[in-house]
Structure formats: structure tokens, C-alpha cells
């Protein structure tokens, strides 16, 4: 019989990148509530310190580390710091990503390409590699990549972001295929519109009344009738991080309020 305890993360150690706000923040708190010790990153130490305090006030264990996801030299040190603090490493959530500007395919400059690809793809790949080496030595682990519905169906003006997220879906399959025999499961979550700074940045420069109009137009176009909240991604995160998903690897779960249904 299926036991609910298979969703538990009791005694596990997780690293969630980009956890100072938005989906990463909700995930870090959710993992802690499920029993995990959680290491959290973003580029700003005070921001991750605040999230660590929030977790500790809830009775959990947290390790805040400032680390830029686009700097390859950071990754091994980050994994080492987690192992040093908690003595093990079970779950990596590659959540940090950037989409600093919109540009048509005709106007996109190399600098924008490099910035996005470095964080969203190259950083994810090499942090996964560093984490998987430790997981393999320890007998297994879980990697969860946060991609996007934009990686499946492109939206205009965000081609580089969409290409990076499409590649994350393939990175998920590539790592899953090579690491399954090492008991490392690798899956992805593809959110649709979720109410975070990353989403709101798209219309940040418009007057406030126009921002509200766009928000309601987006909500109306979503079959479930609202823009997702970060908390609505957490259930799938816990499922993928826990033994509840023990027969699943290489897959991408699309959480988009039904948009893809048409
Ligand atoms: N919100 C949506 O509608 C949506 C839809 C589809 C997919 N997603 C994906 O969901 C994930 C989380 O995004 P979100 O919406 O929660 O965004 P968010 O609220 O803007 O949070 C992004 C997090 O990543 C961190 N971050 C950004 N650049 C970083 C870097 N170079 N190195 C390390 N950390 C970095 C940010 O902190 P600092 O800036 O302080 O470093 C922050 O903690 C991303 O992978 C995004 O692509 C979001």
C-alpha cells in the first residue's frame, strides 16, 4: 500500500538556487516543512540570510550562500559547502535563471545571449555535474531543473530565454539517462505564468493601469482563471524530490493552469 510518508523529505539535504524570492523561496520553505535541511542561494547575501532566518523561525535548518549561477568556479565550492554543513547532499533544485531584457531575434545582441545562457544553461549543467559527482559517491540523489512553458512554445521577444529553457528540457533527459543506474533521478518542472518578479518585469515599464490590464488579460487567457502563485509549484517539487516519484526520471511536468490544453 502507498504510504504518505513517501512524500517526506525528513533527514534529506537540499540545495535550492535562486531561493531569495519567487518559486525558489516557496520551494525552500516547502522542503523545510517536508523535513529537509535546505541550502539556499542567490547573488545577494542579505536576501538569502533573510530566507534562512525565516526557515529557522519555523524550526528548520538552513544554510544561506551568496553564489552567482553564471560563474562556473562557484559550483564545486557550493556543493562542498553544503556537504560540509550538513554532511550529505540529496536534492539539487536548479531554479535560478535570468531574463534581463526582451529583444526580437533581429535585435538580440551577443551579450544578452551570453548572460542568459551562462546562468540558465551552462550554470545549470555544471552545477548539476558537481552535485551528481557527490550524489553518485553517496549512492543516489535527485535533481530538479526549472524550465518554462516558454521552452516548449516560444513567446515573442524572449527567444534566447526560450532557447535556454528548451535546452534545459534536453539537459534533464541527458543527465537522467546517464545517471539512472547511479540512482540519481533527474526531472524538470515547466511553469507557465507565475506571479513573481521575473514575470512582472515584463511589464514593469508600463504605467500602472496598463500593468493591471495586462495582468487581467493574462489571467483570463488561463483556463484555471488565475496567474499561478509560487506555492502552486511546490507540491510538484516535493513529489519530484521525494520517494513518491521513485519510478520517474527524465520527465518535464508542465504546470501552466491549463494553457497548453488549448
Ligand atoms: N515566474 C514565471 O512566470 C516563470 C515561468 C516559467 C519559468 N519560470 C522559472 O522559474 C524560476 C524561478 O523564477 P521566478 O519567477 O521565481 O523569478 P524571481 O522571483 O525573479 O527569482 C529569481 C531568483 O533567482 C535568483 N537569481 C537571478 N539571477 C541569478 C544568478 N545569476 N545567480 C544566482 N541567482 C540568481 C534571484 O536572486 P538575485 O537576483 O538576488 O540573485 C532570485 O532569488 C526560473 O528558472 C524561471 O525561469 C518562471
Residue bearing the CA closest to ligand 1, atom 20: 198
Give the pLDDT score at 124: 98
Give the pLDDT score at 155: 86
Domain presence at residue 212: no
Ligand 1 centroid – CA 97 distance (Å): 5
Domain presence at residue 204: no
Summarised one tens digit per residue, pLDDT across range 93-105 is 999 999 999 999 9
Domain presence at residue 225: no
User: Ligand 1 in contact with 197 (CB < 6 A)?
Assistant: yes
Query: Which residues of the chain are modeled with pLDDT < 70?
Result: none
Q: What is the CATH number of the domain that holds 19?
A: 3.40.50.720
Summarised one tens digit per residue, pLDDT across range 51-70 is 999 999 999 999 999 999 99
What is the SS3 assignment for the chain?
CCCHHHHCCCCCEEEECCCCCHHHHHHHHHHHHCCCEEEEEECCHHHHHHHHHHHHHCCCCEEEEECCCCCCCHHHHHHHHHHHHHCCCCEEEECCCCCCCCECCCCCCHHHHHHHHHHHHHHHHHHHHHHHHHHHHHCCEEEEEECCHHHCCCCCCEHHHHHHHHHHHHHHHHHHHHHHHHCEEEEEEEECCECCHHHHHHHCCCCHHHHHHHHHHHHHHCCCCCCECCHHHHHHHHHHHCHHHCCCCCCEEEECCCHHHC
Domain count, the chain: 1
Summarised one tens digit per residue, pLDDT across range 104-122 is 999 999 999 999 999 999 9
Tell me the whole-structure pTM to 2 decimals: 0.98
**Whether 161 is catalytic:** yes
Domain presence at residue 243: yes
Give the pLDDT score at 134: 98
User: Ligand 1 in contact with 137 (CB < 6 A)?
Assistant: no
Residue bearing the CA closest to ligand 1, atom 17: 198
Give the pLDDT score at 204: 85
Ligand 1 centroid – CA 23 distance (Å): 7
Task: Give the domain range for residue 139.
Answer: 4-194+231-261
Amino acid at each position: 500500500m502507498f504510504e504518505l510518508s513517501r512524500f517526506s523529505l525528513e533527514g534529506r539535504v537540499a540545495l535550492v538556487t535562486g531561493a531569495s524570492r519567487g518559486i525558489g523561496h516557496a520551494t525552500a520553505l516547502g522542503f523545510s516543512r517536508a523535513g529537509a535541511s535546505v541550502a539556499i542561494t542567490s547573488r545577494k547575501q542579505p536576501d538569502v540570510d533573510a530566507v534562512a532566518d525565516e526557515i529557522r523561525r519555523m524550526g528548520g535548518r538552513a544554510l544561506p550562500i551568496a553564489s552567482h549561477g553564471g560563474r562556473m568556479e562557484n559550483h564545486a565550492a557550493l556543493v562542498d559547502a553544503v556537504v560540509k554543513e550538513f554532511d550529505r547532499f540529496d536534492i539539487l533544485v536548479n531554479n535560478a535563471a535570468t531574463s534581463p531584457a526582451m529583444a526580437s531575434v533581429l535585435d538580440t545582441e551577443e551579450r544578452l545571449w551570453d548572460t542568459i545562457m551562462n546562468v540558465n544553461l551552462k550554470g545549470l549543467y555544471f552545477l548539476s555535474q558537481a552535485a551528481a559527482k557527490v550524489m553518485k559517491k553517496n549512492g543516489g540523489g535527485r535533481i530538479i531543473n526549472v524550465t518554462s512553458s516558454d521552452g516548449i512554445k516560444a513567446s515573442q521577444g524572449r527567444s534566447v530565454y526560450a532557447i535556454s529553457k528548451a535546452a534545459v528540457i534536453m539537459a534533464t533527459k541527458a543527465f537522467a539517462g546517464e545517471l539512472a543506474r547511479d540512482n540519481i533521478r533527474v526531472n524538470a518542472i515547466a511553469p507557465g505564468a507565475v506571479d513573481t518578479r521575473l514575470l512582472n518585469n515584463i511589464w514593469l515599464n508600463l504605467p500602472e493601469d496598463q500593468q493591471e490590464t495586462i495582468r487581467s488579460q493574462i489571467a483570463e487567457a488561463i483556463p484555471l482563471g488565475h496567474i499561478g502563485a509560487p506555492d502552486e509549484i511546490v507540491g510538484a517539487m516535493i513529489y519530484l524530490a521525494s520517494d513518491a516519484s521513485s519510478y520517474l526520471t527524465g520527465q518535464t511536468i508542465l504546470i501552466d493552469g491549463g494553457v497548453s490544453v488549448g
